[in-house]
């Protein structure tokens, strides 16, 4: 039996469709994160980028995201392993670190809803940055499944 592409290729060897299919649709990379200036600790919030669609758990303007949100980070094979803020459960991060995908990843399960059914997405559990004053972001710190010390 042939191995799936994510087990046989490096991130830089992936075709564009393969690269895009690695995204499980969890939405966690679209969360606003706060960083403690003293310790460097990153804290997750339930506040998302203004372009995030909480129903679909996808960017509302993926093609134009960088133009509309200048600080949006476009993932590449080169930068994805260096972005410490990427979710611990992120397929790009996992593959870049030589790890396998979780059973709930749609490429493994064959079901695009499995990430949501496993409770690993932020779908319909967040609020847009347009609806919350940045001064209140500290009040919106939460822990997301898969992002705690138990996964490390």
pLDDT tens column, 105-148: 999 999 999 999 999 999 999 999 999 999 999 999 999 988 87
Q: How far apart are CA 89 and CA 76, in angstroms?
A: 17
Average pLDDT of 59-88? 94
What is the biggest distance separating any 2 CA atoms in the chain, rounded to whole angstroms?
A: 54
pLDDT digits (tens, 9 = 90+) for 10-59: 999 999 999 999 999 999 999 999 998 888 889 999 999 999 999 999 99
Strands 58-59 and 127-128: unpaired
pLDDT of 82 above 80: yes
The SS3 of residue 81 is coil
Confidence of residue 150 (pLDDT cuts 50, 70, 90): very low
Question: Residue 33's beta-bridge partner residues?
Answer: 44
Place of tokens 């996992």: 94
Half-sphere exposure for 51 (CA within 13 Å, toward CB): 17
Strands 31-35 and 42-48: antiparallel
pLDDT of 83 above 90: yes
């Amino acid at each position: 039996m042939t191995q799936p592409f994510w087990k046989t290729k490096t991130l830089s060897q992936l075709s564009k469709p393969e690269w895009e299919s690695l995204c499980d649709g969890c939405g966690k990379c679209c969360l606003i994160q706060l960083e403690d200036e003293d310790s460097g600790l990153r804290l997750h919030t339930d506040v998302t980028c203004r372009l995030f669609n909480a129903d679909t758990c996808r960017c509302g303007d993926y093609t134009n995201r960088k133009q509309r949100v200048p600080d949006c980070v476009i993932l590449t094979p080169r930068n994805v392993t260096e972005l410490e803020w990427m979710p611990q459960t992120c397929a790009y991060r996992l593959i870049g670190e030589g790890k396998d995908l979780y059973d709930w990843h749609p490429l493994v399960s064959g079901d695009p809803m499995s990430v949501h059914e496993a409770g690993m997405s932020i779908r319909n559990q967040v609020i847009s940055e347009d609806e919350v004053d940045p001064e209140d972001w500290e009040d919106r710190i939460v822990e997301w499944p898969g992002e705690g010390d138990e996964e490390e």
